[in-house]
Amino acid sequence: MNDGAYLRAIRADGQATLDAAGLGLDAPVPTTPGWTVGDVVAHLGRVHRQKAHIVRELLVSEPPMVEPPDGNGLLEWFAEGVHDLTEILSVTDPTTPVHTWHEPDQTVGFWIRRMAHETLIHRVDAELGHGLHSPVGAELGADGVDEILDIFMGGYPEWAQVDRSPVVVGLESEGRAWRLRFLSWTGSSPNSGREFTDVAGIEFDTGTTKPDAVVRGPGDALDLFLWGRGSADGLIVDGHPSVLLYLRDVAADATG
């Protein structure tokens, strides 16, 4: 996907979030236990404004979140945030260096893509609060699969001790394919001193042998499944079905 497509997705899913929120802010959201639709809108609005601030000021560290207004005005505040975010992203060179939480990519382009998927997932949350299920574009869904595998689930610190699974799993969606291997890592951060034990993750496998299992499905179904926003219906597993459940468990750990 190109940056223009990401920006169109942010605008469209931002509007769809507003439409769902207009049906009622107090509805509980089944995919984010303890949250209402209003909580989802407030969270997404905070994220949008923070990222717009980072890009506008070309910040190299993370600024605090901006809190939404008390009482009335949440939807207007959210709509303004979507507009401000897409405006600043559309006029800033995506290669411009800025702070991100993903060390390999410290550019505006990271936020263009990340905000498209952040907005999509929380649009789905807001709609599910009212029993709605509007479609997710196949291309955006497949790109979301690539993002969650690479940015959230993939990788480990260079100081970690890694235990790799011998099992290779393939994922196929919308003409794209990924080969991955499950792993866990353990170690102590030399910067913070924090201890990590058996953290689940993946790494991409570059081999050419037949995978031990293959998961196939539409981009939207696979993306929403990995994010815990959809069931495994529509996904096909060639191999042991437990692979699919473990894949979701690793994704859940990686995305919090």
Examine the pLDDT at 72 and tell me if it is beyond 90.
no
What confidence score (pLDDT) does residue 8 get?
98
Arithmetic mean of pLDDT, 225-249: 92
Arithmetic mean of pLDDT, 59-66: 96
Buried b / exposed e over 99-138, threshold 16 CB at 10 Å, is: bbeeeeeebbbbbbbbbbbbbbbbbbbbbbbeeeeeebbb
CATH architecture of the domain covering 3-134? Up-down Bundle (1.20)
Fold of 140-255: Nonspecific Lipid-transfer Protein; Chain A (3.30.1050)
Examine the pLDDT at 70 and tell me if it is beyond 90.
no
- Asked if residue 195 lies in contact with residue 210, where contact means CB atoms within 8 angstroms, the answer is no
Q: Report the phi/psi class of residue 71: left, alpha or beta, with left for phi > 0 and alpha for psi in -120 to 50.
A: left
Which residues, other chains included, contact 245 with Cβ-Cβ below 8 Å and sequence gap of 6+? none
Examine the pLDDT at 256 and tell me if it is beyond 80.
no
Examine the pLDDT at 159 and tell me if it is beyond 90.
yes
Q: d(Cα 227, Cα 7) in Å, to the nearest integer?
A: 21
Q: Tell me the pLDDT tens digit for each residue of 89-144.
A: 999 999 999 999 999 999 999 999 999 999 999 999 999 999 999 999 999 999 99
What confidence score (pLDDT) does residue 84 get?
98
Q: d(Cα 134, Cα 40) in Å, to the nearest integer?
A: 17
SS3 call for 124: helix
What confidence score (pLDDT) does residue 241 get?
87
Which residues are registered as beta bridge partners of 200? 184
Alpha-helical regions (H) of 32-137 = 37-57, 74-90, 108-128
Q: Domain-by-domain residue ranges, the chain?
A: 3-134, 140-255
Arithmetic mean of pLDDT, 163-171: 94
Examine the pLDDT at 71 and tell me if it is beyond 80.
no
- Asked if residue 1 lies in contact with residue 143, where contact means CB atoms within 8 angstroms, the answer is yes
Examine the pLDDT at 160 and tell me if it is beyond 90.
yes
Longest dimension (CA), the chain: 58
Query: How, if at all, do strands 176-188 and 161-173 pair?
Result: antiparallel
What confidence score (pLDDT) does residue 155 get?
87
Arithmetic mean of pLDDT, 2-10: 98
